[in-house]
Structure 1
């Protein structure tokens, strides 16, 4: 009987000699959030990584970098709640933008990608960075460790792209577990404090108000409950993600030095 592969096989091998964690809920190796982790053993991930390398040629003025929430910008329906392409075209279609979202990626996987070609040939005006949701799931690192991972990513972005402005979006609220909710709030407080005292190349936006009412996360703002079978609310609907794009647009237009898109 074939057994399901252990979680570490599905979400990448730890580089640089780090220990392998045993699965969701188990203690993660110290510092895993800040260490580069490859997922090239996953065929779909390898194929997407190589395809994105081919996109990163020529003029690239904007990078959207993140996990499945960013990758969802490429969805085209057929249902309206997962037809993200119209909003992408409206806000980013004329900005020479590349979508570097990879389903399941945590800070460690993104760090590996950035170190292996995603920043080699580009000089974008701006980067939109949304990462960290999977740290609370797949690799199970808390707010402090996830914050450290995002700090390493920001440092690398500025080292490799010193003239690029970064728009950092706080991890979006979700309805997964009380532990995830508490750590999401703590992480976003840390990111806000860090950005407030950081150089002008970092801007921070907390998009939680789009997804909450009176402090309560609204399941209707997410497409996961509409799937069959349903999943816990984590990924915004196309309509919610369009509102996210509208929320960050004035700041992004300022960072890019172009006009506000509507």
Structure 2
């Protein structure tokens, strides 16, 4: 086996080239794209949610987008009041879909979720659902591909790349440990200008590293208080990046 560097249809963003394994077939090297970096749609209610997002984006007037999974979609549930308080007057759009992994977000970015808009800022928090299916190394590449896609498609949009939120009861939780590996790697893509990395785990965790059910009732998804902590923790960064 050997490896080669493959830019994922992202010629304008060389910094996010992803390394994937390759093999020789009929004298040629063929990339083995793992699922975390292969844009993939889902079925069922996911499709309806995707259409709803596209309909919102088609209306335009979008200065701020949140991109992610059920934790992001939850701004429309337990986080609704906090969203209205912090983002109701900021022309914000919620691009979260429950259950999404990196490959699903990649597909959505290619199929309407950001067409025709140029937000000031995109807040990205994705990857925790990959921890059940992919090793950290693949999740890292999936997150990198999302950032690269955004940089190519929305060159004027700044990105606030969030560390994957802590999960599980304590610091020894296996999935939290996987997410920690992801966070250490994606933090390196903070370029000080267009992509900024932010880890707000301290807003959620107790001093001993445990999570309480008051913040995350199922030790994964946020309560209303959890959404308030999220909003308050990123507010200084939002104001700065949106030049408010």
TM-score (norm 1): 0.76
C-alpha contact 2:167 2:220 (8 A) present in aligned 1:
yes
Q: How far does the alpha carbon of each residue in 1:28-65 deviate from its partner, in whole angstroms, 9 at most, with x for none?
A: x85211110111x21x1111111111111221101011
The equivalent position to 1:31 in structure 2, one of 31, 34, 38, is: 34
| In 2, Cα distance between equivalents of 1:169 and 1:199 | 14
State the shift of 1:252 in Å: 0.8
Q: Tell me if 1:47 matches 2:87.
A: no
Q: 1:38-77 to 2 correspondence within 5 Å?
A: 38-39=41-42, 41-42=43-44, 44-56=45-57, 57-75=59-77
| In 2, Cα distance between equivalents of 1:104 and 1:151 | 19
Q: Tell me if 1:151 matches 2:144.
A: yes
State the shift of 1:188 in Å: 1.0
Alignment-derived partner of residue 3 in structure 1? none
Q: Tell me if 1:248 matches 2:234.
A: yes
Unaligned runs of 5+ in 1: 1-28, 76-81, 226-232
Aligned-partner SS, 1:145 = helix
The root-mean-square deviation of aligned C-alpha atoms, in Å, is 1.6
Q: How many residues of Structure 1 are paired with residues of Structure 2 in the alignment?
A: 210
Alignment-derived partner of residue 214 in structure 1? 207
Q: Tell me if 1:125 matches 2:120.
A: yes
Q: How far does the alpha carbon of each residue in 1:179-238 deviate from its partner, in whole angstroms, 9 at most, with x for none?
A: 21211111111122232xx2510111111112212342223244434xxxxxxx101111
Say which structure is richer in strand.
Answer: 2
Q: How far does the alpha carbon of each residue in 1:115-146 deviate from its partner, in whole angstroms, 9 at most, with x for none?
A: 00112111101000010010112xx1122111
Unaligned runs of 5+ in 2: 1-31
| In 1, Cα distance between equivalents of 2:160 and 2:41 | 25
C-alpha contact 1:168 1:204 (8 A) present in aligned 2:
yes
TM-score (norm 2): 0.82
Structure 1 segments of 4+ aligned residues over 6 angstroms from their partners = none
